């Protein structure tokens, strides 16, 4: 039976896919302003993409932003993500510093979920996931490929490894080069949602893969990313359209 993940007042893994909106801004002031703006829209959780922050390597500055976000967001769940340059983010970071940053964020106590790129270092990731859980953090293990859609066996292997390491939610985002890539990802999502019994986030990026951002309830992807303003990845829909489409599809499930 598929598990669910509960964060504050939000249950992930049942019903309509939950809508997450990323904050992509460069200064603390702009980050907090963006959070206030996003809260005016029908969103379920907010992601802070810390790799866009101009002072992201400064732990005191990161802690200040997290405290400000919690004050602004109240009980809205907060997902912390530092997307590394190697997986499509804005800043380069070595594995040691990457995991240290995420552990520091957990200790500050403001984030509810952390996106962890486990393939930075699989051995270190397993220990970090355990420590994040001890700090009360839910872990989204993630992998991104902005060039292609890996084979079925490779995708399944990566998702299975995420579960093996103890992640709460399994995420994979890939780039399609033909429509068959999109169909393959949807098929894998449907099977994996049942077999691995964990909440999933899967997406095929770009315009070709846009259907994967709205078909989660049918295929088993439990969070989808929308935009309020600038997108953080190719193919994201604006929140208002995304919410409308999800509600229409939910009506006929």
Beta-bridge mates of residue 142: 117, 171
At 71, the pLDDT band (50, 70, 90 cuts) reads very high
What number is the average pLDDT over the span 245-252? 94
Give the DSSP letter of residue 119: G
CA-nearest of 157, 113, 89, 137 to 18 is 113
pLDDT at res. 194: 87
What number is the average pLDDT over the span 1-14? 95
Marked catalytic residue, from 138, 144, 198, 243: 144
- pLDDT of 38 over the 80 cut: yes
pLDDT by residue (tens digit) across 94-112? 999 999 999 999 999 999 9
Q: Are 21 and 227 in contact (CB under 8 A)?
A: yes
Catalytic residue status for 161: no
Tokens found for residue 224: 């989808």
Q: Are 112 and 78 in contact (CB under 8 A)?
A: yes
At 232, the pLDDT band (50, 70, 90 cuts) reads low
Half-sphere exposure (CA, 13 Å, Cβ side) for 89? 25
pLDDT at res. 235: 73
The SS3 call for residue 113 is strand
Specify the residue for token string 């909440």: 199
- pLDDT of 230 over the 90 cut: no
Which runs of E-coded beta strand occur in the chain?
A: 5-7, 10-12, 18-23, 45-49, 78-81, 113-117, 138-145, 169-174, 200-204, 223-227, 237-238
pLDDT at res. 253: 84
Pairing of strands 10-12, 5-7: antiparallel
The SS3 call for residue 211 is helix
pLDDT at res. 24: 95
- How many Å apart are CA 3 and CA 115, to the nearest integer? 18
Tokens found for residue 157: 């292997």
- pLDDT of 79 over the 90 cut: yes
- pLDDT of 113 over the 70 cut: yes
pLDDT at res. 231: 67
Percent of the chain with pLDDT over 70: 98
pLDDT by residue (tens digit) across 167-194? 999 999 999 999 999 999 999 999 998 8
What number is the average pLDDT over the span 22-42? 97
pTM above 0.85, yes or no: yes
What number is the average pLDDT over the span 33-55? 98
Marked catalytic residue, from 138, 171, 198, 243: 171
Catalytic residue status for 144: yes
At 118, the pLDDT band (50, 70, 90 cuts) reads very high
What number is the average pLDDT over the span 210-235? 88
- pLDDT of 1 over the 90 cut: no
């Amino acid at each position: 039976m598929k598990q669910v993940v509960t964060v504050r007042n939000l249950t992930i893994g049942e019903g309509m896919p939950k809508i997450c909106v990323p904050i992509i801004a460069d200064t603390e002031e702009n980050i907090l302003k963006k959070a206030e703006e996003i809260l005016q829209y029908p969103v379920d959780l907010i992601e802070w993409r810390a790799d866009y922050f101009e002072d992201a390597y400064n732990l005191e500055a990161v802690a200040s932003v997290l405290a400000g976000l919690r004050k602004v967001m109240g009980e809205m769940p907060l997902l912390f993500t530092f997307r590394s340059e190697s997986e499509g983010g804005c800043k380069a970071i070595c594995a040691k510093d990457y995991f240290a940053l995420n552990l520091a964020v957990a200790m500050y106590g403001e984030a509810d979920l952390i996106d962890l790129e486990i393939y930075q270092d699989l051995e270190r990731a397993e220990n970090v996931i355990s420590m994040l859980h001890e700090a009360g953090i839910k872990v989204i293990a993630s992998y991104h490929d902005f060039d292609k859609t890996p084979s079925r066996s490779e995708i399944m292997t990566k998702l299975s490894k995420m579960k093996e390491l103890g992640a709460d939610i399994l995420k994979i985002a890939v780039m399609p080069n033909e429509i068959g890539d999109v169909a393959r990802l949807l098929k894998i999502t449907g099977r994996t949602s049942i077999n691995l019994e964990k909440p999933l986030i899967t997406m095929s990026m770009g315009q070709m893969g846009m259907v994967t951002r709205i078909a989660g309830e049918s295929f088993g992807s439990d969070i989808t990313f929308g935009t309020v303003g600038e997108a953080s990845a190719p193919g994201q829909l604006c929140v208002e359209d995304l919410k409308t489409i999800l509600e229409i599809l939910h009506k006929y499930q």
